A = this chain, B = another copy of it.
Amino acid sequence: MSVILVIEDDPSILRGLADNLRFESYEVLTAADGEIGCRMIREHKPDLIILDLMLPKMSGYELCRKARGEGVTTPILMLTARGEEADRVLGLDLGADDYVTKPFSVRELLARVRALLRRAQPPNAPPDELRFEDVEVDFRSYEARKGGQPLEMTRKEFQLLRALAARACEVVTRDELLNEVWGYENYPSTRTVDNHIASLRTKLETNPADPRHLKTVHGVGYKFVA
């Protein structure tokens, strides 16, 4: 059954929502502020996110925009307080898929949850663009910028980054990368992968010695986190 992450700081609403969703036999994860929510999205990859607009640490806006910028395509259902009309539209602008106004009818909310889950998203589609920190990458035009400055990247680097980003927050083995980027005919040593990772790091990471986005998982492979 689907996993739903609820990010809401009001404990009573949170509990009510979680109970109702569990009663409908969804698996429910909860987070009480934006930062925890953000981490849980990465770590647990829920099938749906229910997100309150007003949150401690990081607002629903920010979280939404950040997640979409990082290529998260999980459907987001926004919770807004009554009268936040302008906020509604803004929230949707940032990439939410639907919203419900508090106080809301539980039946309506459940109906919307079902509707959103029904529109399944094709997973692992390689992204056309990527943003994280001060880096912007466009895979259509083969252009990259860091801190606004253009960045020279080679074809292999683009391909490798794209393959990693398509499975963000997930460890990809060297063999998988070789298959996806190099294909079956050309099959160089796995050390080749390491070299390209290294050059990606020097170009994209603010501190290449302590990579925050292109991480090594010792004995397994590499992992991209936005």
List A residues at the B interface (Cβ < 8 Å): 12-13, 15-17, 19-20, 23, 85-86, 88-90, 92-93, 95-99, 103-108, 140-142, 154-155, 169-171, 217-220, 223, 225
Contact = CB atoms under 8 A, between A and B. Distances in A.
A89 B170 contact: no
Please tell me how many copies of the chain the complex holds.
2
A86 to B, nearest CB: 4
Q: Give 9 closest A-B pairs by Cβ, nearest first.
A: A16-B89, A92-B106, A155-B219, A12-B86, A20-B93, A97-B105, A142-B217, A140-B170, A141-B169
Given A23-B93, A88-B103, A142-B171, 6 more contacts: A12-B89, A16-B92, A96-B106, A140-B169, A140-B170, A141-B169
A169 B218 CA distance: 30
A159 to B, nearest CB: 10
A88 B43 CA distance: 32
A16 B142 CA distance: 30
B223 A89 contact: no
Nearest to A108: B97
Contacts of A108: 97
